[in-house]
């Protein structure tokens, strides 16, 4: 009878529930968030990069998770994966989310961080972008971060984008990020990093156009998940180097010829602003524009964007030898890592695609800066620039620009 009772009880033991995707509610060491604003001409690359992320999950630590928010021409959805559970959709939004709307972005990121808590967070911002330039509030040429065309069935490059100050405000309402990685064009400019200095310890990005294929996530996902706060430059170097090497030597080599990437340490940016301020005020006083014809630029189109001059190369050419030597340590503290391929491809250059060259690699830092000119006043760019912390804290507001 006892044996029968034991067998009977054993038969009634419920099957253990399988683990839920991403272990919601469990606080892990790292949650890496990839925010893909892809309802635009990059929609076809969403599947490519999300597949790479899925394949790279086997390389991350057991206490790491990756959450991917995707907004493309199919739907707005959240996917999550870990080393032992594949990347899978855990939520599909019933309505079309505008990924460049501040309230929508904050809502999505807040939901992810509450549902998938961690000791450390990393953030990838994936989309079109153009640095600090004015955001598009109507359907016109894209500017600033992201582009959302609002139409599922159409893949176009005109839509709503988000300006830099709004992005900084959204991220400032969230838990602190160890790093922000821009898988987007032109976002590694000193104005962007400076505006984000309070929301992340590091900023990784490119001062130039990036290849459409974006980051080789399968190769660098492990390092992205191992980055923690503090000066853990080993894994950050692996991320930056892995990105650039992929286009120098990997699958993207023939098509894109290279990539330009750098790392900014935000805790050193205020010292850089203080070191740069007297020189900028002198160079731009009385609304003048210095001769930058020899300065490394990452882009130029007379009707779109700006030149994105390299900040280090700008100082190298416009300061005296003694001034440059005095200024350089502050820049090197703020930009501890820069990896620039000898060439890269610009797809939006005036007159068609164009191959750029890094002319003076020893004096080029991989972080761009804006040089004001009258033509940008006419386009209304300066109104946006006046709202930036870099403009105020370097005293450019005293120059007449």
Q: What is the pLDDT, as a whole number, of residue 229?
A: 53
H helices of 176-252, where?
Answer: 190-195, 217-226, 233-249
Q: What pTM was computed for the model?
A: 0.93
Q: What is the pLDDT, as a whole number, of residue 3?
A: 42
Q: What is the pLDDT, as a whole number, of residue 34?
A: 98
Weakest mean pLDDT among 9-18, 141-150, 177-186, 286-295? 9-18
Residue found under tokens 């700006």: 306
Instruction: Spell out the domain ranges in the chain.
Output: 28-265, 269-334+342-398
Would you state the structure tokens that stand for residue 162, as one six-digit string? 């988000």
Task: Write down the mean pLDDT value for the chain.
Answer: 90
Residue 357 has pLDDT above 70, yes or no: yes
Euclidean distance between CA atoms 194 and 203, whole angstroms:
10
In this structure, are residues 281 and 399 in contact, taking their beta carbons and an 8 Å threshold? yes
Host H or E run for residue 119:
strand 118-126
Q: What is the pLDDT, as a whole number, of residue 158?
A: 73
Confidence of residue 11 (pLDDT cuts 50, 70, 90): low
Which one is predicted more confidently, 275 or 16?
275
What number of residues does the chain have? 401
pLDDT tens sequence across 72-108: 989 999 999 999 999 999 999 999 999 999 999 999 9
In this structure, are residues 222 and 82 in contact, taking their beta carbons and an 8 Å threshold? no
**What percent of the chain clears pLDDT 90, i.e. is strictly above it?**
74
List beta partners, residue 71: 37, 76
Euclidean distance between CA atoms 264 and 24, whole angstroms:
32
Confidence of residue 31 (pLDDT cuts 50, 70, 90): very high
């Amino acid at each position: 009878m006892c044996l029968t009772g034991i067998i009977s009880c054993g038969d009634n033991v419920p099957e253990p529930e399988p683990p839920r995707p991403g272990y919601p509610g469990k606080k892990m060491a790292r949650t890496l968030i990839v925010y893909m604003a892809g309802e635009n001409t990059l929609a076809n690359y969403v599947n490519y990069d999300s597949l790479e992320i899925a394949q790279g999950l086997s390389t991350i630590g057991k206490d790491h998770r990756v959450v991917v928010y995707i907004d493309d021409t199919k739907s707005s959805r959240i996917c999550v994966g870990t080393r032992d559970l594949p990347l899978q959709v855990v939520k599909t939004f019933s309505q079309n989310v505008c990924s460049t709307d501040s309230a929508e972005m904050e809502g999505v990121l807040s939901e992810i961080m509450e549902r998938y808590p961690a000791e450390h967070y990393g953030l990838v911002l994936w989309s079109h972008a153009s640095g600090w330039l004015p955001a598009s509030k109507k359907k016109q040429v894209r500017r600033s971060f992201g582009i959302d065309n609002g139409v599922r069935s159409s893949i176009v490059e005109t839509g709503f984008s988000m300006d830099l100050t709004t992005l900084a405000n959204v991220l400032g309402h969230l838990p602190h990020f160890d790093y922000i990685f821009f898988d987007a064009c032109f976002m590694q400019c000193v104005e962007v990093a400076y505006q984000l200095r309070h929301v992340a310890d590091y900023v990784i990005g490119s001062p130039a156009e990036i290849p459409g294929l974006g980051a080789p996530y399968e190769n660098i996902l492990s390092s992205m998940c191992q980055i923690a706060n503090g000066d853990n430059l080993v894994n950050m170097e692996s991320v930056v180097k892995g990105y650039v090497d992929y286009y120098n030597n990997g699958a993207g080599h023939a098509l894109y010829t290279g990539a330009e990437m750098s790392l900014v340490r935000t805790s050193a940016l205020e010292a850089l602003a203080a070191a740069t301020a007297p020189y900028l005020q002198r160079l731009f006083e009385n609304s003048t524009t210095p001769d930058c014809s020899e300065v490394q630029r990452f882009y130029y189109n007379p009707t779109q964007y700006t030149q994105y001059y390299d900040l280090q190369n700008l100082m190298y050419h416009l300061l005296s030898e003694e001034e440059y030597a005095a200024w350089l340590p502050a820049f090197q503290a703020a930009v501890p890592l820069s990896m620039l391929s000898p060439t890269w491809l610009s797809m939006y250059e005036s007159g068609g695609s164009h191959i750029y060259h890094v002319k003076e690699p020893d004096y080029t830092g991989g972080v761009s800066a804006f040089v004001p000119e009258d033509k940008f006043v006419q386009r209304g760019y300066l109104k946006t620039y006046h709202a930036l912390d870099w403009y105020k804290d370097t005293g450019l507001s005293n120059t007449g620009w």
